[in-house]
Structure 1
Amino acid sequence: MAKLYFYYSAMNAGKSTILLQSAYNYKEKGMETLLFTPAIDSRFEKGKIHSRIGLSAEAVPFTDEMNLLEYTESYRTKHTSLACVLIDEAQFLTKKQVAQLTDIVDKLNLPVLAYGLRSDFRGEPFEGSLYLLIWADHLSEIKTICHCGRKAIMSARIDAEGRPVKSGEQVMIGGNESYIALCRKHFKGMA
């Protein structure tokens, strides 16, 4: 029975690495996967999922307007060995797209593995993450650590000098130069 899985964490926990390993495991067994990544992620090559440890794979870039159910249905007619759908940076999904993921599971009987941040740099939920936390069949936290050694559950935005940024647009694409993972205590201490 297919399920919707949401794997969440703070920044730099290895979400993309785990996604790529999952895709590899399916392919090693002769099963095809369909990978999605947000079109707004401009850090690397468009249409590719990259991990910080150097792994990468081709993926379909999605926008807010893309219907993931329709795309998956169409893809499956040409790729009959499709066994799983994987979503990178799932926090950028819309509520409607998360509902489409539930339809991929419930109507097409395909498992969906979504990987993303639980909250933004202000400690507020992303739309995609909020609805994945509510509608996913299975939730799993991917753990990372704060500089103090505690479990990091927050992602803090920093400027070029490493100082906390507390205001701005919710979405700003960046990596280690723009975000750090912190425990709640240190996240609150940055206020």
Structure 2
Amino acid sequence: MAKLYYRYGTMNSGKSIEVLRTAHNYEEQGKKVLLFTPAVDDRYGVGTVASRIGMQKKAMIIDEHIDMVKLAAAEKPNCILIDECQFLQKEQVLQLTEIVDTLNIPVIAYGLRADFMGQLFEGSYHLLALADQIDEIKTICWYCDKKAIMNMRCEDGKPVFEGAQIQIGGNESYLPVCRKCYSLKRKQAQSL
């Protein structure tokens, strides 16, 4: 029985490496994978899933016009993989549930849980509500040895705690941090 898996982690926890590794494992066995990424993620070029260690692979672009159910029915993959799933809209998450429930194709979605202000993204919100299985991909805090659970946005090397929810970036813009270090940095910023 197919399932919808939601695998989340902070920035720099290895989510994209996991996507690419999983795609490789299926393809090495001669199995078909459909790999998707939202159009908004253009860090390495639209339609590219890339990790910070240099691995990358072309992917199909998810935008407001795509019908993933129709595409999955036509392509009949063994698995569907989604990178940066936090950027999905509710209707796109519902398409993933339909793929699992009606086509019996497993879907594994990888992404962030919350933004730099600690607020859920729309895609994350609906995946947390609808996924059959939820797994955390762990990493450590940038400042200490605790588990990172928050994403801290930085501008010119300084933490910021206000702004637009979506700002595409990597290590130059975001750091994985524990809640304690996040709170400390926030208090320090407020006292300036």
Give yes or no for TM over 0.5. Answer: yes
Partner of 2:152: 156
Deviates more, 1:107-116 or 1:33-42: 33-42
Q: Distance in 2 between matches of 1:71 and 1:172?
A: 29
- State the AA in 2 paired with 1:159: E
- State the AA in 1 paired with 2:59: A
1:64 and 1:93 in contact (8 A); partners too: no
Partner of 1:79: none
Q: Distance in 2 between matches of 1:133 and 1:109?
A: 20
- State the AA in 1 paired with 2:4: L
Partner of 1:5: 5
- Paired residues in the alignment total 185
Q: CA-atom RMSD, angstroms?
A: 1.0
Q: Distance in 1 between matches of 2:5 and 2:177?
A: 24
Partner of 1:38: 38
What is the TM-score when the length of structure 1 is the normalising length? 0.93
Partner of 2:97: 102
- Gapped regions of structure 1 (runs ≥ 5): 77-81
What is the TM-score when the length of structure 2 is the normalising length? 0.93
Partner of 1:175: 170
Q: Distance in 2 between matches of 1:40 and 1:74?
A: 25
Tell me the CA shift for residue 68 of structure 1: 2.1
Alignment of 1:1-191 (within 5 A): 1-76=1-76, 82-146=77-141, 147-160=143-156, 162-191=157-186
Q: Deviation per CA, 1:93-149, whole angstroms, max 9, x where unpaired?
A: 011111110000001100000000000000000010011111100110000000201
Partner of 2:189: none
Q: Distance in 1 between matches of 2:6 and 2:137?
A: 10
What is the identity percentage for the equivalent residue pairs of Structure 1 and Structure 2? 51
Q: Distance in 1 between matches of 2:180 and 2:64?
A: 34
Q: Distance in 2 between matches of 1:10 and 1:119?
A: 8
1:38 and 1:61 in contact (8 A); partners too: yes
